[in-house]
Structure 1
Amino acid sequence: MSHDAVLFDMDGVLVDSEDYWVEREREELLPWAVPDEEVPVREITGMNYREIHDYLAEHYDVAVTKEEWVDRFDDTAEAIYTEKVDLLPGFADWLAQRRTQGIPMAVVSSSPHDWIDLVLDRFDLEFDAVVSAEDIDVPGKPEPHIFEHAAGELGFEPKACIAVEDSEHGVDSAVAAGTTCIGYHSGADESVDLSNAEFVVDSPADLLATVDDLLGVEG
C-alpha cells in the first residue's frame, strides 16, 4: 500500500551529525562521565541526552552530575550543528518538491527543540511538524511513544507513515509504533544493526528513492 506521510529522524539522517556525535561521545563525553569503564557508543545512540545520563547512572559508575552532563552536551551540540554538519545530499530539493505535492513531513528527534532549530534555520528547512523527545512526558526511543505522537501531529495513524531512522533505538521505536521503517546506514557506525527495519539502505539516493516508492510518487 502507499503511505501518506514521512517521519524523519534528524541526527544521522537529515544531517551527518552522528559522525561527530559518535566521535565526541567515544573520545570525550563517555570517558569523562564513566572514567573507569568503556561504554559502547551504540548503547546510547538515538537516546535523548538527558535519558542517556539516567541510563549511565543505572548501569555504570558515573562521575559527573546530570547538570554537568546536560551543560556539556549543550555546548557540544551548538558547535556540531552550527559549524560541522552537512545536510543529506539532495534532500533540500526533494523536500521542496514533496511539500509542493502536499505530502506531510515531520522531524522526529531525541534532540531538544533548540538543537533541531539550529539545523532547520541553518539549512532553511520547513516541516509540517517538529517533534522532540521533550514534547512527550513518557520515555523516548526505543519506546514507540514519540513516533505515535508525531503521526498524530500530522493527523495519521502510525501505519500510514514512513519512518526513517539510523540507530537501533530509533528503528525499534518506529517499528514498535507500527510505522513502515527505513533503516539508513549513514556510515557513522558500521556495527549498528538496523535489521528490524522493513527496508535498509546505505546511500542518500537509495533512501529518497525508497521513500518515493512507499509514497507512490515519481522521483
Structure 2
Amino acid sequence: MKAVLFDMDGVLVDSEEYWVALEEEEVLPEAVGEGVVDDEEITGMNYREIHGYLDDHYGEHLDIGREQFETYYEDAADDLYSERVELIEGFEKLADDLRDRGVRTAVVSSSPLDWIGIVVDRFEIGEHFDALVSGDEIEGPSKPEPEVYEIAAAEVGVDPADCVAVEDSENGVEAANRAGMTSVGYRTEINQGMDLSKADHVAEGPEELRGLLLELTS
C-alpha cells in the first residue's frame, strides 16, 4: 500500500463520542423525537446532509427546519475541536514511520475544511499530511458514496487500489470499499455496536491500528 487515508472524526481525533452525545441528547430528540433514529445511521455523513436523510426516511417525525438543525452542529464544532477532542494516541510517531517508508497520507472527512483546519492547527500536524480532503470538495453526496475517497486518491497521486482507508463507521467503510481501497475499520469504546464487518481489516485501538498499518505498508 502506498497511501494511508485517515477519517477525522472517531479516528484522527476522538470527537465521535461528543457528536454522538450531542445527537442523542439534543439534535435527534429535537428533530424527530426520542428513539426514532439510531445515531449509527448518520455517523460518517456530512452534517449538512443529515437533515435531508431524516426527511427522506423519517419525514413524518421531522419537526425542525434545516437551518436550525445545521446550527446545532456549527455552534458545537468550534468548541469541540479547539478545546475538547484529543489526538489519537501515537499518531505523530506513526505518521513519521509512514513518511520514512514513502507512504502518502491524507485526512479524508465529510466535515467542512475549516473544521479539519481547527484540528490540524491545534495539534500542529499539518506537516504530516499530503492532502486535506473535506466534504466541501465533493459535488454529490458524502459517505457512503465514494467520491471523497476518489478525490483523495487523486490528490495524493496514488491509485485507489494502493490506498488504505481508516474508518470508524459503516458509512465510511462502505465509501472506501466502493472507491476500490483497502478498508480498515477502527474500533473504539464509542463504536462497539457499529457494524464494521465489511471492512477488510478491523483494528482494536491505536496500538493495533499502528501495527496493522505498518504491516500493510511494509
Shift of 1:184: 0.4
User: Could you say which residue in structure 1 is the equivalent of 2:143?
Assistant: 141
Contact in 1 for aligned 2:2/2:102 (Cα 8 Å) = no
Shift of 1:97: 3.7
Q: What amino acid is aligned across from residue 6 of structure 1 in structure 2?
A: V
User: Could you say which residue in structure 2 is the equivalent of 1:67?
Assistant: 67
Contact in 2 for aligned 1:144/1:174 (Cα 8 Å) = yes
Work out the CA distance in 1 between the residues paired with 2:71 and 2:56: 20
Q: Which deviates more from structure 2 when the two are superposed, residues 194-203 or residues 29-38?
A: 29-38
Shift of 1:58: 1.1
1:206 aligned to which of 205, 208, 211: 208
User: Could you say which residue in structure 2 is the equivalent of 1:182?
Assistant: 184
Describe how 1:84-103 pairs up with structure 2 within 5 A.
84-103=84-103
Q: What amino acid is aligned across from residue 34 of structure 1 in structure 2?
A: V
Contact in 2 for aligned 1:48/1:133 (Cα 8 Å) = yes
User: Could you say which residue in structure 1 is the equivalent of 2:154?
Assistant: 152
- 2:6 aligned with 1:4, yes or no? no
User: Could you say which residue in structure 1 is the equivalent of 2:18?
Assistant: 20
Shift of 1:36: 6.3
Instruction: Give the TM-score, by structure 2 length.
Output: 0.94
Work out the CA distance in 2 between the residues paired with 1:7 and 1:120: 15
Q: Structure 1 vs Structure 2: percent identity of aligned residues? A: 49
Contact in 2 for aligned 1:107/1:129 (Cα 8 Å) = yes
User: Could you say which residue in structure 2 is the equivalent of 1:116?
Assistant: 116
Q: What amino acid is aligned across from residue 52 of structure 1 in structure 2?
A: I
Instruction: Give the TM-score, by structure 1 length.
Output: 0.94
Q: Aligned in 2, Cα 1:204/1:37: closer, same or farther, shift over 3 Å?
A: closer
User: Could you say which residue in structure 1 is the equivalent of 2:77?
Assistant: 77
Contact in 1 for aligned 2:8/2:109 (Cα 8 Å) = yes
Q: Which deviates more from structure 2 when the two are superposed, residues 80-89 or residues 165-174?
A: 80-89
1:108-129 C-alpha deviation (Å, 9 max, x unpaired)? 0011011111110111112110
Which consecutive residues of structure 1, in runs of 5 or more, have no partner in the other structure? none
Match of 1:188, SS state, is helix
Q: Aligned in 2, Cα 1:90/1:53: closer, same or farther, shift over 3 Å?
A: same
1:133-152 C-alpha deviation (Å, 9 max, x unpaired)? 11010111001111111101
Contact in 1 for aligned 2:149/2:179 (Cα 8 Å) = yes
Work out the CA distance in 1 between the residues paired with 2:67 and 2:191: 28
Q: Aligned in 2, Cα 1:194/1:37: closer, same or farther, shift over 3 Å?
A: closer
Match of 2:117, SS state, is helix
Work out the CA distance in 2 between the residues paired with 1:155 and 1:92: 22
Shift of 1:35: 2.6
Contact in 2 for aligned 1:26/1:41 (Cα 8 Å) = yes
Contact in 1 for aligned 2:7/2:109 (Cα 8 Å) = yes
> In angstroms, what is the RMSD of aligned CA positions?
1.3
Work out the CA distance in 2 between the residues paired with 1:112 and 1:66: 17
Contact in 2 for aligned 1:8/1:106 (Cα 8 Å) = yes
User: Could you say which residue in structure 2 is the equivalent of 1:43?
Assistant: 41
Contact in 2 for aligned 1:10/1:107 (Cα 8 Å) = yes
Work out the CA distance in 2 between the residues paired with 1:37 and 1:63: 14
Q: What amino acid is aligned across from residue 10 of structure 2 in structure 1?
A: G
